Amino acid sequence: MIPGILGKKIGMTQVFRADGQVVPVTVLKAGPCVVVQRKTPTTDGYDAVQMGLVEGVKPQRLTKPETGHTKKAGVDGVRYLKEFKLRSGDDDLKPGDRILVEHFKPKEKVDVIGTSKGRGFAGLVKRHHFRGGPASHGSMFHRAPGSIGASSFPSRVFPGMKMAGHMGNAQVTVRNLEIVQVDAEDNLLVVKGAVPGPNGSYVVVRRSKV
């Protein structure tokens, strides 16, 4: 069994099931990928494969270490590299093996990992959904944070306090998404529901544990 595949988010649409049900889906261009490196417990301390997304990349955009690393697997260059830990029952993959979308079947469950859209600096109401204060009648408390801790004790702000700050641009994992369709000819994977990140962003698709 293949542990996962790399791809790009194309966008959202909807499909109709045989019974007429409308299903919101996200279309992913998954693969083709190639195994660049195999990590073993004896040499690296854990069992995993390093996979690369095969895309057109100019040689001058790769450093000499990157070029030498990918040439060991017989690949001219890959744009996106990620590791997948191997579990019991996974295939014994070797450098140079190709991973295609046809290894996945409809109705299987996958986890999709991506980077959420960056929203810049955001306040408490937008970032943490705070209610805010009254909007009128002379109130001077509208979208302010309020108290963030006592004064005399403990005389500090506890770590993890919800405050204004950088919103988005973080790794997000959406679990147990159902595969609705697989298009092996165009390397397309259609999954039910939403996937983090803007259109054109890279995503990691791995098989769900359950």
pLDDT of residue 4: 86
Q: Comparing 13 with 18, which gets the higher pLDDT?
A: 13
Q: Does 112 share its domain with 64?
A: yes
Report how many domains make up the chain: 2
In the numeric block, the tokens 């408390």 are attached to 141
Q: 10 Å Cβ neighbour count for 119? A: 12
- Residue 48 sits in the same domain as residue 134: no
Q: Are 115 and 204 in contact (CB under 8 A)?
A: no
Is 12 in the same domain as 83?
yes
Please state whether the predicted TM-score (pTM) of the whole model is above 0.75: yes
Task: Specify whether 146 is located in the same domain as 162.
Answer: yes
Whole-number pLDDT of residue 39: 86
One domain, residues 9 and 86:
yes
Query: Rounded to an integer, what distance in angstroms lies between the CA atom of residue 210 and that of residue 200?
Result: 28
Domain match, 11 and 45 both: yes
54 shares a domain with 98: yes
> Is pLDDT of 185 > 70?
yes
Q: What is the pLDDT of residue 210?
A: 66
User: Residue 198 sits in which domain range?
Assistant: 4-120+173-207
9, 66: one domain: yes
Same-domain pairing of 130 and 185? no
Q: How far apart are CA 57 and CA 54, in angstroms?
A: 9
Q: Give 33: exposed, middle or buried? Use CB within 10 Å, 0-12, 13-18, 19+.
A: buried
Mean per-residue pLDDT, 23-47:
88
Do the Cβ atoms of 143 and 42 come closer than 8 Å?
A: no
Instruction: Judge if 106 and 48 occupy the same domain.
Output: yes
| Claim to verify: residue 156 and residue 83 sit in the same structural domain | no
In this prediction, residue 125 carries a pLDDT of 94
CATH code of the domain covering residue 63: 2.40.30.10
Least confident piece of the model among 84-93, 108-117, 139-148, 178-187: 84-93
Mean pLDDT, residues 24-49 taken together: 88
